[in-house]
Amino acid sequence: MRIAAALAAALLVGGCATQPNLYAWGRYEDLIYTTYASPGSMPPERQVEALEQDYQQARANNQRMPPGWHAHLGYLYSELGKPDQARQELQTEKAEFPESAVFVDRLLANLSKS
């Protein structure tokens, strides 16, 4: 009976409780929203700056960046005409998340062409 009651309590707490985040989200999704909701209000330079700040903070807290994050930053660098930084971010995406390889290789190939 006591064990069953403990189990019920654990279910009650565990069933709805929130888990700690796997990733440091920073302003990633907010920046995407702003880019589409008010185009031009946040130029790529400032987005890169914001994302790099988020990255520093995540590193200080020993947290990972979310899937797609490094590819997104790489894309912004390529928009700014900085292919070296773009390449580096894309490589990081691939190293962190091998699932991205097919798409990232395509982006890397496009980067070499331009």
Partner 1 sequence: MSTLARYRLLTAALLLILGGCATMQPYDYSNYYAHPPRSILVLPPLNESTAVEGTYSYLSTVTQPLAELGYYVYPVAVIDQYLKANGMPTAGEMHQIPLARIAEIIGADAVLYVDLKQYGSKFQVVSSNAIVTVTAQLVDTRTATVLWAGSATAQNNSNSNNSGSFLAQLLAAALVQAINSKVDVSHGVCRQANAQLFYPEGRGLPYGPYSPRHIAK
Q: Which residues bind partner 1 (CB under 8 A)?
A: 1, 4-5, 8, 11-12, 15-16, 19, 21-23, 25, 28-30, 32-33, 35-37, 66-69, 71-72, 75, 97, 99-103, 106-107
Which of 33, 56 has the CB closer to partner 1?
A: 33
Taking the alpha carbons at both ends of the chain, their separation in whole angstroms is 70
Residue 110: CB minimum distance to partner 1, A: 9
CB-based contact 23:66 (threshold 8 Å): yes
- Using alpha carbons, list the distances in angstroms from residue 26 to 30, 41, 69: 8, 19, 10
Give the relative orientation of helices 44-60 and 69-79 as an angle to the nearest 10 degrees: 150
Instruction: Output Rg (C-alpha) for the chain, integer angstroms.
Output: 19
Residue corresponding to tokens 């185009």: 39
Residue 14: CB minimum distance to partner 1, A: 10
Residue 99: CB minimum distance to partner 1, A: 4
Residue 100: CB minimum distance to partner 1, A: 7
